Structure 1
Amino acid sequence: MINIIRKIPWDSLFLLLLTYINIGWATCQLRSYSLNWLLVVIAILILTSCFNAPWRRISGFLHFLLRSNLRYFGVTLLGAFLLFFVLARFRMFLDILVIVATIILVRLDLQTLGYREKLAFRFILFISLLGLVSGFMLHFLFVKYW
């Protein structure tokens, strides 16, 4: 039992939890709840699955994406739009960058400790959703009682 507890990267998981508590708090402050929460949960699923996919699949997808000139042009336009997004919404970009950095940190720690991809995906997804719900509950309690 003690060996299992030692094989968990507590510091990076705590950072991931704090990051998603912040996202849950910020999402709770928005007006339309159901649509925002659905989009955030879908984004968490997509982001978590992207960082747990094997690199061969990602390189195969990029090779498929950049095979023709039309697709390459589309990727270039998407890159220009993302650059505009970074410049126009810098605060949101920094929040997304912090989320990506913490997911990468947790993924690297879990990979270093020898966790399989499915277990790492479940672990990251559970901590992310737990942080999201905790942020919602904390915001709800602070607004209602203070």
Structure 2
Amino acid sequence: MSILKRVPWVSLALVLLSYSTLGWVISETRASMFVWVVTVVAILILIVTLTAPWPKMTYYYSIFLQSNTRSFGIAVLAAFLFFIMIAWFGVFLDTLLILSATILVRIDFQRAGLKGGVAFLTASIFSLGGLALGALIYKFIYSQIPLT
């Protein structure tokens, strides 16, 4: 079976669309280059986290929970993040959409039997391509129509 037949195209299209909305929103805020770089790094970290094998992830998570002080710090951080989630519910829903689409791609790649490196590379290309596509569409639309 060809690798092109095993690729989950529907899931990748969802990733492309969800990340293009993120690119649109960032372009709409006229964010600096620093925000773009942080966004790209965060996307790559998310994809690496999802494509890493689970035994490695449990090892890294166990480092955070080795002592009571670290566990307390993680609990306080989780409570703060829950407060942020409630306060900025719209942003949370957008983030949840992006996270869900990325997890769906990971599950489909795993079901298709593709290796982690191929999954990371393909998901990265579609995610960053969607981010750039959203920014380009925003620039194209609003450069043609004067706002005044």
Q: TM-score range by the shorter chain?
A: over 0.9
| Gap regions ≥5 residues in structure 1 | none
* In structure 2, C-alpha distance between the alignment counterparts of 1:97 and 1:4, rounded to whole Å: 29
* In structure 1, C-alpha distance between the alignment counterparts of 2:128 and 2:67, rounded to whole Å: 38
**2:135 corresponds to 1:112:** no
* In structure 2, C-alpha distance between the alignment counterparts of 1:57 and 1:116, rounded to whole Å: 16
TM-score, normalised on structure 2? 0.93
**How far 1:65 moved relative to its partner?**
1.3
Q: Deviations over 1:21-56 (max 9, x none)?
A: 100000101133312211111111111111111111
* In structure 1, C-alpha distance between the alignment counterparts of 2:12 and 2:52, rounded to whole Å: 19
* In structure 2, C-alpha distance between the alignment counterparts of 1:36 and 1:64, rounded to whole Å: 29
Query: What letter is aligned with 1:47?
Result: L
Q: SS of the residue aligned with 1:43?
A: helix
Poorly superposed stretches of 4+, deviation over 3 Å: none
> For residue 56 of structure 1, what is the aligned residue in structure 2?
55
Query: What letter is aligned with 1:110?
Result: F
> For residue 88 of structure 2, what is the aligned residue in structure 1?
89
* In structure 1, C-alpha distance between the alignment counterparts of 2:2 and 2:59, rounded to whole Å: 38
* In structure 2, C-alpha distance between the alignment counterparts of 1:68 and 1:143, rounded to whole Å: 52
Q: SS of the residue aligned with 2:2?
A: helix
**How far 1:135 moved relative to its partner?**
0.6
Fraction of identical pairs, as percent: 37
* In structure 1, C-alpha distance between the alignment counterparts of 2:24 and 2:66, rounded to whole Å: 42
**How far 1:3 moved relative to its partner?**
3.0
* In structure 2, C-alpha distance between the alignment counterparts of 1:134 and 1:40, rounded to whole Å: 14
Q: SS of the residue aligned with 1:67?
A: coil
* In structure 2, C-alpha distance between the alignment counterparts of 1:4 and 1:111, rounded to whole Å: 13
Give the number of equivalent residue pairs: 145
| Gap regions ≥5 residues in structure 2 | none
> For residue 12 of structure 2, what is the aligned residue in structure 1?
13
Query: What letter is aligned with 2:49?
Result: C
> For residue 103 of structure 1, what is the aligned residue in structure 2?
102
